[in-house]
Amino acid sequence: MKNQLLLLVAAILLSSFVLNSGEPKIKLPKAYVYVPSGQYTLNGETKSIQGFYIQSTEVSNLDYKEFLFDLKYQGRTEDLAKAQVHSEGWKQAMASAGPLVENYFDHKAYENYPVVNISHEAAEMYCEWLSTKLAVRYPDYYYKVRLPEEIEWCYAASAGQAGRAYPNGPYLHNSKGQLQYNYRHLGDEAIHRDKASGAITVKEGVMAAAADGTFFSPSPTISYEPNDFVLFNTSGNVAEMLREPGHTKGGCFNSTGYDIRIDAPDEFAGQAGPSPYIGFRPVISVVPK
């Protein structure tokens, strides 16, 4: 029964389509939004960017379960082994990680949370799998599903606004004072100023709790406010893999507000293996045959 349900959800994912004004008239899953062509300045260099599609959310546990189920169904044993979720990675994030190790990927309560603890190679395999699915169903176009280039990610995360600190503007809070991102925010009680040097330091023992009273961990893939391109959680929640192995953007639930800036240095540089802090969101390039 469970396997049949997964197949049904996968079928719905691949058969649901929308056409937004201003975008090419092609068919793609509803989870993807169109990012129009434009220019973006990164590291002092301005480049033109061809329009592309990107998933509006990070890939969820349910999305990834569909992929693993299909690998198993096809008898791709070696690929299935490479693609496995390494849930023990949660032990890197917190001392009392037992519940997350046991439940985060497997329990239905976490189905719509971002998948983590997978390798860069596994994320690329997912992209190749989805490319194949789209090619079979819609043979009139070439669908190349892949991880984003850094400039594509920054362009999409900032909604095309170069120099924007965060996806929704210059601040971590909105006009109502509400947090707009999932990150390891600090309360005033955690900030210390050294009298001798004037340096500002953080007292780890008095870190503020999350806004909803929970421990620091990912939030559902659809949570907080989307940016103007309708992308959720590009800053914070989980860091997102780029096309080049060992590179990520956006920071995660355990990053500070400074480290989830769009232009922040890569906090997880060199990490291409499974991590509880890193997930991914694919982009799709479409070319007519």
**239-241 and 278-279 strand pairing:** parallel
* Fold for the domain defined by 2-288: paralog of FGE (formylglycine-generating enzyme) (3.90.1580)
CB neighbour class for 194 (10 Å; exposed up to 12, middle 13-18, buried from 19): exposed
Q: What is the pLDDT along the chain (289 residues), one digit of tens a residue?
A: 444 444 444 443 443 333 343 455 677 778 999 999 999 999 889 999 999 999 999 999 999 999 999 999 999 999 999 999 999 999 888 777 788 999 999 999 999 999 999 999 999 999 999 999 988 888 888 889 999 999 999 999 999 998 899 999 999 988 888 889 999 876 555 566 777 887 876 665 544 444 443 447 899 999 999 999 999 999 999 999 999 999 999 999 999 899 999 999 999 999 999 999 999 999 999 877 7
How big is the CA angle at 104 (ends 98 and 107), to the nearest 5 degrees? 110
CA distance 256 to 266: 13
CA distance 127 to 144: 8
Q: Does residue 269 contact residue 246 with C-beta atoms inside 8 Å?
A: yes
CA distance 130 to 285: 12
User: Taking the model in full, what pTM does it have?
Assistant: 0.84
CA distance 289 to 278: 35
Query: What residue type is 105 in one-letter code?
Result: F
What residues does each domain of the chain span? 2-288
Calculated CA dihedral for residues 185, 189, 190, 195, nearest 10 degrees: 140
The tokens for 238 are: 């989980």
